Amino acid sequence: MSELNYNIEILVPNKVAAVRFSYIPFIQEISYAPDPGIGPAAYAEPLRITSDGLFLLNKDHDGYEIIKGIVLSLINLPRAILKQRRTSLLANKHRRPYDNLCISCISGEIARRAVKKEAKQHGNN
C-alpha cells in the first residue's frame, strides 16, 4: 500500500491504514472485493482485513474514531493478552455495546495476524 496516495492514512506501517471506503473505487493501490452477500452496504463496513494482512479502517463509518482507538490499543499486544482480554469480555454477562465492539476488534486483530502470517508464507508481503 502506497504512502504516496494522500487518500490513504498510514496509522501503523504494515499493520493499520485508514481511508474513506467511498473513495476505494478510485484508489488503484487498494484492491477491494466486497463479500458478495453484503451488497451495497459493503462500503459501509467499519473495517476490512486486506489479503496481505493490513487492517483497513473506514473513515466514512460513524464509529471510525472509536474503532481506530480500540484497534491502535490492541495492535501491538501479544496474542496471549488479546485472547485473555477477549475471554474476560466474553465472560461478562452484562456487556455494553462498547465491550462487544472490543471483542470484535480483538477477534479481528487475531484474524489479521493469521492473514499476515499466511501472506508472508506465500511471499505476498
In-domain check, residue 3 = no
Q: Give Cβ neighbours of residue 16 (< 8 Å, ≥ 6 apart).
A: 10, 54, 55, 57, 71, 72, 75
Q: Across the 125 residues of the chain, what is the mean pLDDT of every consecutive 10-residue run? A: 72 93 80 65 80 91 96 97 97 95 96 92 73
In-domain check, residue 26 = yes
In-domain check, residue 66 = yes
Structural domains counted in the chain: 1
Write out the residue range of the structural domain in which residue 35 sits: 9-121
In-domain check, residue 58 = yes
In-domain check, residue 87 = yes
In-domain check, residue 13 = yes
> What pLDDT score does 111 carry?
95
In-domain check, residue 14 = yes
